[in-house]
Structure 1
Amino acid sequence: MRLRARAHAMAPGVGMSLEARALVGVMGIMLIAVCACAILAARVVDARLLEAKANSAASAGARLAYLVRPGMVGAERAEIERWVDDTMRDPRIMFVVVSDTADAPISRHVRDSRSWAAHDASMRLTPVDRRALNSPEPLLADGDIKGYVYRTPVWNDTPDAAKRHLGYVTVAYMDPSYALVRAGLLRATAMASLIAALGAAPLVFLAARRLTRPLRRMANAASQLAAGERPERLNERGPMEIVTLAKAFNRMATGLSDARESLVRANRELESVVRARTAELGRTNQLLRAEIHEKNEFVRSVSHDLGAPLRNISGMADMLLANDGGDLGEDARTKIERIRANAHLEQNMLSELLELSRIGARPECPDIVPVRDVVDEVARALAHEMGERGVTLEAHDPLPTLRVERARLRHVVQNLVDNAVKYMGDRPVRRIDISGEVNAGGARLVISDTGPGIPERERESVFHIFRRASTSVGAAHGVGVGLASVKAVVERWGGTISLEGVAGGGSRFIVRIPADRVTTEEASQAA
């Protein structure tokens, strides 16, 4: 069962396990929280460090302004230089500028030329009266605040003299140790985050595994259920959600297992019933085959036994008419001709019955037969009868090519055409049309005529044996077997035949042949 669960877990399309998802999720949340705290702490530290830098710059500027004031009052340049040099001893001072009231430099000492160049360029763009006073301005380097510049005025405000503006002192302060403190803080934060993540990972994994243990048991039970086994009931204890899910699964598993067992029992019973019915059907089929065989044998025997006397009667009638016809009276001659005609009619009926019995008796030997060739054969065979009755036959190409017995196909076409010729009557237009088409469902062969037609109520019964249409009574000789044999042949192919009326009179016989009886080339072209 474990192997099946592992195989399912490694199947394509299956994602991470719940333990892995929980571990990744909790670790991600912890990392995000630690990173947020680290960013917040870094911002707070940066603000405090920048504030310390600004205060240091302001303190250095205020101190220097106080020290150089006596020298600026007495215009003692050496005194000013001495205090500027003293200020520059602090390595954190980048440059110092002492200027007069017009902001013209009196003394300038520069330690970092890049800082001075950036500050000087900024000052050139700002008018003297708009330059910041007593407010630390940030000193930028590579887009980052490296220090502050503090500019303060120098006043002569001794008690024995009037207050007078003497000039300005500008001090740039930059302390690299602040950056080191900031980097150390970030390293310590990162290390603390890593240690916290590594320490929490096993705890998170164990907690997730404990939480998903009922789900793993449920997955194993579902695999058993899918394999057709009845799984063990799940433990219905634990968190409320797990208990609810376990109860629902137990109900589902019990219902499915009971239903499967009932279905198995029903299948077994059904199989036994099917075996019994199959055996019964086999016996019935054997009886039917035996009865059909006996019927066919009976028809052949009757045809043979009745055919011989009928042939004798017909022959004797012919002999009487040939030898003694001149000595017979008109009444006797008419009766002998009626005997001969009825004998011929009965012989034809026996032949057609015998042919009908043979349709389903012997196995079929299909061949590739073009319908057009068979139509031409039938037209030649019935040319004399059609000529006597003034009937024309028109075949409209293309006609399909079928996989059937040639003799059976000719039997179908000849019977339908012969019926149309015999029952055409005295119609003003005497024409028979044959057309066909092939589609994805098979082929259609349509034979229509301009005869008197068949009433709608009789269009089904004319295919029954010994049944003739009311419009054909007295019009021609027939026994009602031809259409029944045509229907038997078409149904032997797996097709159907139907009869429709034509506007203005006439009949249309539609023979539908299944696709497996149509040649592959024509079927593919139709598709």
Structure 2
Amino acid sequence: MIEVGEFEFSYKDHAMRSYILKATPLSSDHVMITYEYISELKKVKSELTQKNKDLKEKNSSLEEFAYIASHDLQQPLNTINGFVGIFKSKYLDLLDETGLKCLNYIEEASNRLRNMILGILEHSRLGTNIVVTTVDLNETLDDIVKDLQGIITKKEGEVRIGNLPKVEGCAIGLRLLFQNLIENGLKYQKDNNKPIIDISFEEKEGSYLFHIKDNGIGIQEEHKDKIFQVFQRLHTDETIYKGSGLGLANCQKIVQLCGGKLWVESVYGEGSTFSFTLPKK
């Protein structure tokens, strides 16, 4: 007796419907035949592959458009700033109080636009030229705290960091992620409040879960999703809280590129905790 092992093969009927047939020997005289109808599965898989391809092409086109548009916008902006400079250097004495105020408004608006353009360029470039290395987050956070020491000292703040792991990722992107979240915790504070930032992590199955907790002004419940959108700022008075409205959108993009998730839990008036996951490689 020749023993025959289990085997399977594909089959199409006269209506071009696809099946996978599987033959399993039960004895020398009996074989069990099973089949699986896979036409719909193949169709869904094909559609999903095409949609992923279309999405990649659209994302690439969108990033290219953002780069070109932002780059081209800088030239007329430079012209505006140039003429403002001429007015201030040569015709300042001819302007009354109202005229000077209008000129200052133009200068401030052009500076805001410049920051927005630079923000768009930075946001469009995120995810390009990624170099994945082993990143010691303890060293990364040590460098960030040194760079932010000026504002920490000015506000009499404290950044408390637990022992963090080494992760596989883009060093520049991870630095930008942590720095943005720490800066926000230092910036968005009540008057005369001393900022305290706590940074910790938990090791989960297949991922690391990070928490960056602050004692700042907090976020209202209806704004928790809005803050991660591009150019969404909850505080429009730039004399108190300056920013382009791109910081958290950049953080969201960085975490998504890493294959993780970013979210916030907050009590308005008491503080916020930003949490995100980074997969283990």
Where on the TM-score scale, by shorter chain, does this alignment land: which range? 0.7 to 0.9
More strand by share: 2
Distance 2:48 2:271 in 1: 44
Q: Is the 8 A contact 1:368 1:403 kept in 2?
A: yes
Partner of 2:175: 410
**Aligned counterparts, 1:338-353, within 5 A:** 338-353=105-120
Code of the residue aligned with 1:459 in structure 2: it is: K
Partner of 1:316: 83
| Aligned-residue offset at 1:503 | 8.7
Cα 1:391/1:404, change in 2 over 3 Å: farther
Q: Is the 8 A contact 1:396 1:435 kept in 2?
A: yes
Normalising by structure 2, what TM-score? 0.79
| Aligned-residue offset at 1:488 | 1.0
Distance 2:101 2:140 in 1: 39
Normalising by structure 1, what TM-score? 0.45
Question: In terms of mean alpha carbon deviation, does 406-415 or 349-358 score higher?
Answer: 349-358
**Aligned counterparts, 1:261-300, within 5 A:** 264=35, 266-267=36-37, 270=38, 272-300=39-67
Partner of 2:18: none
The answer to whether the aligner puts 1:306 opposite 2:73 as a matched pair is yes
Distance 2:245 2:258 in 1: 22
Code of the residue aligned with 2:27 in structure 1: it is: S
Partner of 2:132: 366
Aligned length: 259
The answer to whether the aligner puts 1:223 opposite 2:223 as a matched pair is no
Code of the residue aligned with 2:178 in structure 1: it is: V
Percent sequence identity over aligned pairs = 27
Cα 1:420/1:317, change in 2 over 3 Å: farther
Partner of 1:473: 236
Q: CA-to-partner distance for each residue in 1:346-376, whole Å, 9 max, x for gaps?
A: 122222222222224x252111222222223
Secondary structure of the structure 2 residue equivalent to 1:223: coil
Cα 1:492/1:428, change in 2 over 3 Å: same
Q: Is the 8 A contact 1:307 1:347 kept in 2?
A: yes
The answer to whether the aligner puts 1:379 opposite 2:137 as a matched pair is no
Q: CA-to-partner distance for each residue in 1:255-289, whole Å, 9 max, x for gaps?
A: xx5xx2xxx2x43xx1x444444443333333323
| Aligned-residue offset at 1:492 | 1.1
**Aligned counterparts, 1:22-421, within 5 A:** 222-224=26-28, 227-228=31-32, 260=34, 264=35, 266-267=36-37, 270=38, 272-325=39-92, 328-360=95-127, 362-388=128-154, 390-421=155-186
Cα 1:342/1:393, change in 2 over 3 Å: farther
Q: 1:495 aligns with which of 252, 255, 260?
A: 260
The answer to whether the aligner puts 1:448 opposite 2:224 as a matched pair is no
Distance 2:151 2:226 in 1: 27
Secondary structure of the structure 2 residue equivalent to 1:299: helix
Cα 1:391/1:408, change in 2 over 3 Å: farther
Distance 1:422 1:337 in 2: 25
Question: In terms of mean alpha carbon deviation, does 317-326 or 393-402 score higher?
Answer: 317-326
Code of the residue aligned with 2:148 in structure 1: it is: L
| Aligned-residue offset at 1:445 | 2.5
Partner of 1:522: none
Q: Is the 8 A contact 1:436 1:446 kept in 2?
A: yes
Unaligned 5+ runs, structure 2: 5-24
| Aligned-residue offset at 1:292 | 1.9
Code of the residue aligned with 1:358 in structure 2: it is: R
| Aligned-residue offset at 1:226 | 6.6
Unaligned 5+ runs, structure 1: 6-220, 229-256, 517-527
Secondary structure of the structure 1 residue equivalent to 2:27: helix
Flag the structure with more relative contact order, 1 or 2, with Cα contacts below 8 A and sequence separation at least 6.
Answer: 2
Q: Is the 8 A contact 1:452 1:505 kept in 2?
A: yes
Q: Is the 8 A contact 1:391 1:421 kept in 2?
A: no
Q: CA-to-partner distance for each residue in 1:123-165, whole Å, 9 max, x for gaps?
A: xxxxxxxxxxxxxxxxxxxxxxxxxxxxxxxxxxxxxxxxxxx
Q: Is the 8 A contact 1:398 1:435 kept in 2?
A: yes
| Aligned-residue offset at 1:227 | 4.0
Distance 2:125 2:105 in 1: 30
Secondary structure of the structure 2 residue equivalent to 1:304: helix
Q: CA-to-partner distance for each residue in 1:463-507, whole Å, 9 max, x for gaps?
A: 1223233xx332423342221110111111111112112596011
Distance 1:481 1:410 in 2: 16
| Aligned-residue offset at 1:327 | 5.1
